[in-house]
Amino acid sequence: MGRIIRERKEFPVLRMTSMMDMFTIFLVFLLINFSTDPESTMGSSAKLPDSNSNKSQDEKERERTIGISVVKNQNNQIEVMAKYKDEQAGFVYPYSEREANAREKEQLGNLTLFLQKFTKVSKMIVILEGDKNLPYRTLWAVLGSTRDAGNVDQIVMSVVSIE
């Protein structure tokens, strides 16, 4: 009978010498070049940006928010008030659909111009508050003039019952 000859397997050996050399060079490089002084890494001529972290996030959002309210007043007219910081614009036009068409387009054009005045510089957030009892057509027209102003980042619409 034949003998089965088993070969001895040699396990692979990981040569650590060259890896340790590279690690040592890398470590020395980091120790020499590491600094906690920002001027030594950027140079003294670099101008760092100013921080506005003293303002809270709410104040920053308030600076770019325009509020618009749409209500029906006692004289049976639709009243649109737009306000941004200290400036505001108000528009009034008849409630009945027949009387409102021409005047409504003119007033909503004025609203678009008011919004464009402030949205030229940066994107704005518009908060639209409307009376639940108003015709949907009226709120849609105000929303359309807001969209036409351009450069509006977000429109938040809230419809509530105002008495």
Residue 150's identity, in one-letter code, is G
Listed as ranges, residues in the chain with pLDDT below 70 are: 1-2, 37-46, 48, 50-58, 60-61, 94-102, 121, 162-163
Residue at 151 is within a domain: yes
Q: How far is CA 72 from CA 21, 62, 144, in A?
A: 82, 26, 19
Residue at 30 is within a domain: no
Domain count, the chain: 1
Residue at 128 is within a domain: yes
Residue at 105 is within a domain: yes
Residue at 43 is within a domain: no
The CATH number of whichever domain residue 86 belongs to comes to: 3.30.420
Task: Record the pTM.
Answer: 0.55
Residue at 39 is within a domain: no
Residue at 134 is within a domain: yes
- Rounded-to-integer distance, Cα 61 and Cα 135, Å: 30
Structural domain including 108 reads 57-160
Encode pLDDT of 79-105 as tens digits.
Answer: 888 888 888 888 787 666 555 566 777
- Rounded-to-integer distance, Cα 130 and Cα 118, Å: 21
Residue at 139 is within a domain: yes
In terms of C-beta density within 10 A (0-12 exposed, 13-18 middle, 19 or more buried), how is residue 70 classed?
Answer: buried
- Rounded-to-integer distance, Cα 17 and Cα 61, Å: 59
